[in-house]
Amino acid sequence: MKSRVLGKNKVFYDTIDSTQKEMWRRIESNNIENGTLIIAKKQTAGIGTHGRSWHTDISDNIAFSFVIEANCKIEKIEGITIQIARTLVEAFEDLYNIKLEIKHPNDLVYNNKKIGGILTETKVQAGIVKYIVIGIGINTNKNEIAEDIKNIASSIKNEFGIDVDNERVINRFCELFEKWLIENKIL
């Protein structure tokens, strides 16, 4: 991995309620280092935007959250979610020569089916963003899509017929996104 801060520390779980919830628990207990990733094979209570659930089963998909200690005004991070989506699209294009689309501002789609989502949350004190916690879930190697969502959701494997190396995708994302964070003086 070429990034120096983002992803330097990785915490792995086979099963956890939610990588996002675990990140916030660690922040509250002052047990976190800037750029840490929390990665899970399975989430039992994964969360998406607007309080929706995000299904992550054990079928080798991407589910992780990371933290940025920003200490900047909120205006500085406007558009960060769409930038994360662009960075994920770039990572998949670099590694697999596939082109995902973005459903503004936080979904990755292909053929009008959701492949992944991004959840961005912040902790702000006196107008200053202290922490940015971002959760990312991507259906990469999932074969079976639940019956109730198969018309609106899919996976990289189902759409492109390839097996994704999740670790390579996460590492490439960290490299690209850290570069953006540094260029924009957030990290």
Q: What is the pTM of this model?
A: 0.92
Which tens digit of pLDDT belongs to each residue from 53-108? 555 556 689 999 999 999 999 999 999 999 999 999 999 999 999 999 999 989 99
Tally of structural domains, the chain: 1
Residue 4 lies in a domain: no
CATH for 91: 3.30.930.10
pLDDT of residue 54: 53
Residue-wise pLDDT for 34-57, tens only, equals 999 999 998 887 665 545 555 555
Structural domain contains residue 1:
no
Range of the domain at 170: 10-183
Q: Classify residue 170: in a domain, yes or no.
A: yes
Asked if the structure places residue 5 within a domain, the reply is no
DSSP 85: H
In the chain, the amino acid numbered 124 is V
Cross-strand partners of 66: 37, 134
Residue 131 within a domain:
yes
For 123-142, write each residue's pLDDT tens digit.
999 999 999 999 999 999 98
CA dist 87 and 74 (Å) reads 21
Q: 3-36 as b/e, with b when 16 or more CB fall inside 10 Å?
A: bebbbeebbeeeebebbbbbbbebbeeeebeebb
Which amino acid appears at position 143 of this protein?
N
User: For the chain, first and last CA: distance in Å?
Assistant: 17
User: Hunting for tokens 């589910």 — which residue is that?
Assistant: 63
Task: Let me know if residue 87 belongs to a domain.
Answer: yes
Cα(115)–Cα(137) distance, rounded to whole angstroms?
9
